[in-house]
């Protein structure tokens, strides 16, 4: 190969992953060696495991792995969540690499496409998104909710890449620009496209988790989706305005009718309609206050500027 090779970092956030880590390490090492041998990446390329405050033996394993020169380990001081753990790993890697690939510890993403990502990097792409071809391994429910979520985000005008989780390659420059997004409430999938730069997609089949269990149960998934929506769009607020206009127009019509009824002497009866209106308006107002409240909550969290993670230890 004619071009100068680049240094690749593979960043892997881990939360209670003792069951999968030994195999994951082996697979990633294999991949690293293949890529080095093919002359795609430099000898200095490395794997960076981030322990996101695991309660099991994850950190002990990582410490052990880090005795080998091509493996580094970060230990966060507590559980900060997937997005923050990823960020910690990427920021650390940025100083040592030319490009970083982020991936899950359970190897649900097909790591063999990393080679394609590297090739794209040589073609000048600075962000390469891994996108799932099918979602066969997901339950019908997860598929349906995910699809609905992407549709909704698109409809609200958020530039989000469908079926892309956090499996992607980013150049050093993209990583350093990512640092400038200082949001506490981080939704990486939505932020990365805002960086711009030349980007492309590689497709892969998502596999089943081979051991351990998902750290994203339904409740967390819905919270994540809602966070994504409120962090990127004020359409829900506009929805309240539109709802208000509709209710106002209806109330005009109803006022005319009410006055007419009074003048023609058929007023008084109408307890049912009165109740319906009171209940309806009560509901609309509560919903509206709730939505506004969500945004105020976001502002509250953002203004406090709490640190997104603390790195307690770095190995080696």
| Region near ligand UDP per CB under 6 A, out of 133-141, 154-162, 212-220, 284-292 | 212-220
| Footprint (CB under 5 A) of Mg ion, residues 200-229 | 209
Q: Which of 75, 172, 215, 308 binds ligand UDP (CB under 6 A)?
A: 215
For Mg ion, the closer of residues 214 and 285 by Cβ is: 214
Distance CA 69, CA 96 (A): 14
For ligand UDP, the closer of residues 75 and 82 by Cβ is: 82
Neighbour count for residue 100 (Cβ, 10 Å): 26
Long-range contacts at 305-308 (CB < 8 A, ≥ 24 apart) = 305/182, 305/184, 306/184, 308/80, 308/84, 308/87, 308/88, 308/184, 308/186
Least distance to Mg ion from the beta carbon of 104, Å?
A: 5
For the chain, the maximum distance between any two Cα atoms, rounded to a whole number of angstroms, is: 94
Sheet holding 127-132, edge to edge: 199-204, 127-132, 168-171, 99-102, 8-14, 46-51, 71-76, 311-315
Neighbour count for residue 88 (Cβ, 10 Å): 24
Phi, psi of 198 (to 5 degrees): -70, 120
| Region near ligand UDP per CB under 6 A, out of 12-20, 92-100, 111-119, 250-258 | 12-20
Least distance to Mg ion from the beta carbon of 109, Å?
A: 8
| Footprint (CB under 6 A) of ligand UDP, residues 105-144 | 105-106, 108
| Footprint (CB under 6 A) of ligand UDP, residues 53-92 | 79, 81-82, 85
Distance CA 147, CA 134 (A): 12
For ligand UDP, the closer of residues 79 and 163 by Cβ is: 79
Asked if residues 188 and 170 have their Cβ atoms less than 8 Å apart, the reply is no
Q: Which of 60, 69, 214, 255 binds ligand UDP (CB under 6 A)?
A: 214
Please report whether residue 158 would count as binding ligand UDP according to CB under 6 A. no
Binding residues for Mg ion, rule: CB under 5 A, are 104, 106, 108, 209
Binding footprint of ligand UDP on the chain (CB under 6 A): 13-15, 17, 52, 79, 81-82, 85, 104-106, 108, 209, 214-216
């Amino acid at each position: 190969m004619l071009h100068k090779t680049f240094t690749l970092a593979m960043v892997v956030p881990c939360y209670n992953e003792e069951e999968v880590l030994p195999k994951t390490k082996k697979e990633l090492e294999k991949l690293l060696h293949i890529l080095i041998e093919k002359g795609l990446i430099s000898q200095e390329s490395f794997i960076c495991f981030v322990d996101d405050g695991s309660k099991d033996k994850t950190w002990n394993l990582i410490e052990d792995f880090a005795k080998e020169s091509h493996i580094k380990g970060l230990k966060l001081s507590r559980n900060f969540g997937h997005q923050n753990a990823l960020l910690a790993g990427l920021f650390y890697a940025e100083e040592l690499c030319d490009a970083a690939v982020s991936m899950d510890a359970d190897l649900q993403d097909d790591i063999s496409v990393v080679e394609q990502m590297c090739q794209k990097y040589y073609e000048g792409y600075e962000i390469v998104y891994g996108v799932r071809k099918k979602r066969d391994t997901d339950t019908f429910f997860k598929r349906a909710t995910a699809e609905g979520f992407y549709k909704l985000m698109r409809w609200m005008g958020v530039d989000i890449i469908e079926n892309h989780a956090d499996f992607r390659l980013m150049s050093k420059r993209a990583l350093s620009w990512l640092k400038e997004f200082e949001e506490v409430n981080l939704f990486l999938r939505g932020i990365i496209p805002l960086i711009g730069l030349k980007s492309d997609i590689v497709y892969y089949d998502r596999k089943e988790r081979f051991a351990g269990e998902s750290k994203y149960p339904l409740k967390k998934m819905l919270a994540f989706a809602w966070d994504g929506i409120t962090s990127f769009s004020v359409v829900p607020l506009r929805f309240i305005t539109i709802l208000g206009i509709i209710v106002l127009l209806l109330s005009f019509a109803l006022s005319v009718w009410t006055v007419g009824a009074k003048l023609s002497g058929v007023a008084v009866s109408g307890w049912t309609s009165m109740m319906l209106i009171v209940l309806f308006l009560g509901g609309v107002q509560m919903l509206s206050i709730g939505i506004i409240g969500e945004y105020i909550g976001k502002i509250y969290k953002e203004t406090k500027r709490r640190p997104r993670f603390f790195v307690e230890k770095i190995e080696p």
